[in-house]
Amino acid sequence: MCSIMGYCSRNAVLSSFMEGFQKTISRGPDDSRVVETGDGILGFHRLAIMGLTPSGMQPFRLGNSYVVCNGEIYGFEKLKKELSVKYTFESNSDCEILLPMYREYGTDMFAMLDAEFACILYDGEAGEFIAARDPIGIRPLYYGYDKDHAIIFASEPKNLTGLTDRIMPFPPGHYYKKGQFICYCDIAKVHRVCYDDLETACGKIHDKLVAGVEKRLIADAKVGFLLSGGLDSSLVCAIAAKKSSEPIKTFAIGMSEDAIDLKYARQVADYIGSDHTEVYMTPDEVLSSLKNVIQLLGTYDITTIRASIGMYLVCKAIHNQTDIRVLLTGEISDELFGYKYTDFAPDGKAFQEESQKRVRELHMYDVLRADRCISVNSLEARVPFGDLDFVKYVMALDPELKLNTYGKGKYLLRHAFEQGGYLLDTILWREKAAFSDAVGHSMVDYLKEYAESQYTDEEFKSRCERYTYARPFTKESLLYREIFETFYPGQAEMVVDFWMPNKTWKGCNVNDPSARVLSNYGDSGK
């Protein structure tokens, strides 16, 4: 990961800019550079992944124009070759192509990118700033306005505290120009439903996911893998193992006494022949990490915080004990193929609408979790299930095909990899466990017990009344909200709401986001 920031005003004060910008140096500890364009300030903290030499340092410049980008542009070599007819390149960085592309194609360039990215571009000819973010929001970007109504962009909310009264996420799939946010790609929108039959669909799911993993293995820095032992991360690791000439490095975490998935992660690692590391966390580490995790996340959402503690601690261990810089993860599969609660979807239309909602909001939940937990430890996250071609195809599939009418959730994904020896059947067909449960049921129990000890029933009721937006509804949610407010006072609208099952569906009217409270959880927790 890298950190970018842009203060789009001639009146921007460098010292104020730097105070905010330095808060995310862990995202890019290798080098830092700030330029004053005359119309504002651009800053870049570098984590070197592609083009490791100093020539890959940003901001890149072309004439009087500059760009900073936190991103990975897949297949950039082809674009670079085409542009090389007119432009000279100084580095092997994928992001160096952005200014030439902008000069050739203007804002149409953003729809041309196969990338996960956030960028801020200064057009020196027009004297204006342009910003953009990838269609899923895998790379973070936030914005706010100063007292003079000048816009400020930054990788994280913490960069903007003190510079603006209201911090908001930059909408994925949009670019900003001349005061407007313009959609260039709504990744969840289906223009034409795809009615491929089951076998055809599964064949394409297989091929597109394999391609999505393969392109994310390319890096000049060392690559590792988070392996929970669940279906999604196990498939990513299994595909990567087949494509790699040497054993891949996998990492799993759990509570020492009851981590459901550690044993399954070990089984996967043994089967695919990975160099596997287990990390154990204690109750004290869980509770002592809570405030730090909420601060780095910038959220009060229960699911996100629970699932982030294990991810944060395993990434911390990877940072401290290895020289790995890139981590592949299994996020985004659930939003495409379904959760435990989407088994309750009344019909295909409802399933599709829920999937679209979740994909559009991913940048505030699972994608946010992966970015912050990984980047705060000076690592980069890559998300194969977020491959644009893969997402567009699965979203377009007839939703009736994606409904769980097979007696097994995520049937399409499982069936797609049934052949080829990717995973043991016991892993491929195992019921899903919620990530925050999979690291150990006791972890969530410790958090709940700790929250219960912080408030009497009367205190809980009165303190909840303070909040009109996303009002807490359990002592755990109140605890998280109060910690959030100490770091981001009055900024709750950065998150649209609590991540919860669709309460309008029969069987989903629950007060806890964990799948373990659903009637169909069954063997998931074993």
Counted domains in the chain: 2
Q: What is the pLDDT of residue 52?
A: 75
Q: Residue 434 pLDDT > 60, yes or no?
A: no
Residues 298, 345: one domain? yes
For residue 412, give the 3-state DSSP assignment.
Answer: helix
Residues 246, 294, single domain; the answer is: yes
Q: Each residue of 274-285: pLDDT tens digit?
A: 999 999 999 999
Percent of the chain whose predicted confidence (pLDDT) is above 70 = 97
The per-residue pLDDT for 419 is 96
Given 396, 412, 431, which residue is the final one in a domain?
Answer: 431
Q: Do 204 and 175 share a domain, yes or no?
A: no
Span 346-357, average pLDDT: 97
Whether residue 116 has pLDDT greater than 60? yes
Classify residue 225: in a domain, yes or no: yes
In tens, the pLDDT along 202-233 reads: 999 999 999 999 999 998 889 999 999 899 99
For residue 280, CA distances in Å to 223, 256, 257, 258, 495 come to 22, 6, 9, 11, 31
The last residue of one of the domains, among 408, 431, 454, is: 431
pLDDT in tens, 409-424: 999 999 999 999 999 9
pLDDT at 50: 78
Which stretch of 82-86, 252-256, 419-423 has the lowest confidence by average pLDDT?
A: 252-256
Give the CATH number for residue 80. 3.60.20.10
In a domain, 17, yes or no: yes
Residue 372 in domain? yes
pLDDT for position 220: 87
* 220 lies in some domain: yes
Pair 155, 56 in one domain: yes
CATH code for the domain of 381: 3.40.50.620
pLDDT at 439: 66
Q: Which of 2, 202, 237, 373 is catalytic?
A: 2
Whether 192 is in a domain gets the answer: no
Point out the domain boundary residue: 183, 209, 243. 183
Residues 175, 205, single domain; the answer is no
User: What strands lie across the sheet with 128-133, from one edge to the other?
Assistant: 60-62, 65-73, 115-123, 128-133, 174-177, 180-183
Same domain, 64 and 142: yes
Q: What's the rounded mean pLDDT across residues 83-97?
A: 95
Is there a domain that residue 482 lies in?
no
Residues 118-131 have pLDDT tens digits of 999 999 999 999 99
Domain of residue 254 covers 198-431
Q: Is the dihedral of CA 315, 316, 320, 321 positive or negative?
A: negative
Residues 74 and 207 in one domain: no
Instruction: Give the range among 21-35, 373-387, 391-405, 505-519 with minimum mean pLDDT.
Output: 505-519
Give the strand pairing for 223-226 and 249-255.
Answer: parallel
- Assess whether 174 and 208 both reside in one domain: no
Are 223 and 326 in contact, with CB atoms under 8 Å apart? Answer: yes
- pLDDT, one tens digit per residue, over 170-196 is 999 999 999 999 999 999 999 999 999
What is the value of pTM for the model shown? 0.95
pLDDT of residue 205: 98
Indicate whether 116 and 228 sit together in one domain. no
**Residue type present at position 118:** A
The confidence band for 261, taking pLDDT boundaries of 50, 70 and 90, is confident
- Whether residue 225 sits in one domain with residue 176: no
CA distance 314 to 404: 33
Catalytic, 2? Answer yes
> Phi, psi (5° rounding) for residue 300?
-120, 5
Check residue 410 and report its DSSP letter.
Answer: T
243 lies in a domain? yes
- 520-526 mean pLDDT: 61
pLDDT number for residue 526: 53
Would you say residue 435 has pLDDT above 60?
A: no
DSSP result, 432-499: P--HHHHT-HHHHHHHHHHHHHH--HHHHHHHHTT-SSS---SHHHHHHHHHHHHHSTT-GGGS-S--
Per-residue tokens: 378: 């000076």
How far is Cα 288 from Cα 309, in angstroms, rounded to an integer?
10
Average pLDDT of the residues in 298-304 = 96
Per-residue pLDDT at 115 exceeds 90: yes
Same domain flag for 270 and 413: yes
Say whether both 108 and 256 belong to one domain: no
491 lies in some domain: no
Fill in the DSSP letter of residue 341: G
Asked if residue 441 has pLDDT above 80, the reply is no
